[in-house]
Amino acid sequence: MSWHQHFLRWDSEIELENEMRKSLDSIKHDERLLEEHFYKNLEFGTGGMRGEIGVGTNRMNLYTVRKASAGFAQYIENAGEEAKNRGVVIAYDSRHKSPQFALEAAKTLSSYGIKTYLFTELKPTPQLSFAVRELHAFGGIVITASHNPPEYNGYKVYGMDGGQLPPKSADELISYVNGIENELKIKVKEKEKLKKEGLLVMLDDTLDEAYNKKLQEVSVSKELSQEAKDNVRVVFTPLHGTAYKSATKAFETLGYKHVHVVAKQAMPDPNFTTVLSPNPEEAEAFSYAIKDGKDVKADVLLATDPDADRVGLAVRKDDGEYTLLTGNQTGALLLKYLLSQLEKSGNLPKNGAVLKTIVTSELGRKIAEDYKLTAIDTLTGFKFIGEKIKQFEQTNDHTFLFGYEESYGYLVRDFCRDKDAIQALILAVEACAFYKQQGKTLCHVMQDIYEEYGYYKENLKSLTLKGKEGSAQIEHLLTSFRAAPPGEVAGLRVKTIEDYQVQKRAHLENGETETMSLPSSNVLKYFLEDGSWFCLRPSGTEPKVKFYFGVVSDTNEESVLKLEQLNNSIMDKVAAILESNEEGIQK
């Protein structure tokens, strides 16, 4: 069906909701806009869906939410009556339309006879993961677009283990969603009727205390005195999202008295008024926290994204200024502290495993191996880390100790099966207090780690290529790298190429290939002769293609230079490919 036919289907719908009708009328004479809103169905991928809020098949709205939920309902029906009775838990963040979309999802599932638990107020994504496990539900949904701009929202699906669905289950769910022919004709019952039928259960704060109790298990130091806790000073900002209540309660329970919350960013705000982007990866997101940090002489600044599954750290330097850590640096700090404390207390299991993604720094592997532990790579996306934890439970081959990804996501204890910023906050503040009583800042500790293991440096570049043309450009870029793989980069030979789409690893020196065990994914990774690497990966949730770079050297200066040369070499090649493609299209 063409975009014009989709538009006509919506335009002729007599019962089209009023807001949707007004939005459609406002763009119906702009053919370019209409095509953008209707040229495809908003893609429901392995992690759910995410997009701009608005009218049309290619936007987040009550009808696309109902379609996703109807597909999920059919997926649950296929699993049987027990699955329907166990039900689904639904949470939402502080974004525009999040409460409405959550209610539409709940009404749709309940209308299929599926028991549905809906939180009455916004909750962090990790708390949704916890609630699925605590209530023994069959699955979960969270309405969020993470750190995307205010005009976005999204829909993420979770399985009975509290993790995002693994590929096989996700593919089955996607087939049900794609099988819904007309999202406008999905009928749902009213909220009050569903509540009376016992199919819709409203959740207040009854699970908050249970989650907070489990959070106390994140603490690992047996030597940390109350005096040390009293001595550490923290500035925390939830960036207008969901973390405020859970985080402050956890700090209070653990006995941290000097946690200063950034007042102007404490309360939920769907417009994220005080920041350009509610993304703890960006230095700008810390501007208010830095000002408050200097006022209270904070040792560490902490910022969580809107749905509180990711956290960024800024640490105080000797001159009183603050430096923002990368996700890889924070992961290394937390991992080193965690393993050192577990070893000291005699609680470090011999079969312990650290999980990281293929684009996460190799420094984590180096630290894990130093403690005689196994480091295992997964595909990008925390669902793969959650899937591995589940495998460990079934096989007992390994004991999960820590999971993380370079994009600021961390998990310490597996009572959640998604990244948990609240857990990471707790471990970061404890580490800060522990090292401070030894006269060290987190800056000093990071330097110690580099001196011990090598100067690992990483970088990420993203190209945003929106719309139909952008998708074609991204596809052309990956095809070009596959068709003509570089043999040399920045003066260094390429030794190995990993193509995750065909699940093959090619060793260029001897021409041998081997099969990789990870699931298929449109990702390319290249390893150079000196241990450097780079990776190309289209984003699964945004109109972007991402380029990851990693190097290691004996000195900071050498690593900085290596990283710059690697980055420039690849991005020059990317620019040439895109320019050549543009010229070909024009001809």
Identity of the amino acid at 401: L
- Rounded Cα–Cα distance for residues 279 and 312 (Å): 9
Tokens for 11, please give them: 């335009």
- Rounded Cα–Cα distance for residues 109 and 200 (Å): 9
Phi, psi for residue 7 in degrees, rounded to 5: -60, -45
| Residues 10/24, Cβ–Cβ less than 8 Å | yes
| Residues 37/57, Cβ–Cβ less than 8 Å | yes
191 HSE (CA, 13 A, CB side): 11
Tokens for 143, please give them: 């309405």
- Rounded Cα–Cα distance for residues 534 and 524 (Å): 8
Whether 169 is catalytic is: no
Tokens for 532, please give them: 């450097």
Would you tell me how many other CB atoms lie within 10 Å of the CB of residue 469?
Answer: 11
Phi, psi for residue 277 in degrees, rounded to 5: -150, 135
Tokens for 211, please give them: 């989650």
Provide the b/e sequence for 254-274 (b: ≥16 CB within 10 Å).
bebebbbbbeebbebbbebeb
Angle of the 421-436 helix axis to the 208-215 helix axis, nearest 10: 40
Output 471-478 pairs: Cβ under 8 A, ≥24 positions apart.
471/543, 473/578, 473/581, 474/538, 474/543, 474/545, 476/577, 476/578, 476/581, 477/536, 477/545, 477/574, 477/577, 477/578, 478/522, 478/524, 478/536, 478/538, 478/545
- Of 23, 110, 111, 146, the catalytic one is 146
- Rounded Cα–Cα distance for residues 581 and 526 (Å): 23
- Which of the residues are catalytic? 146
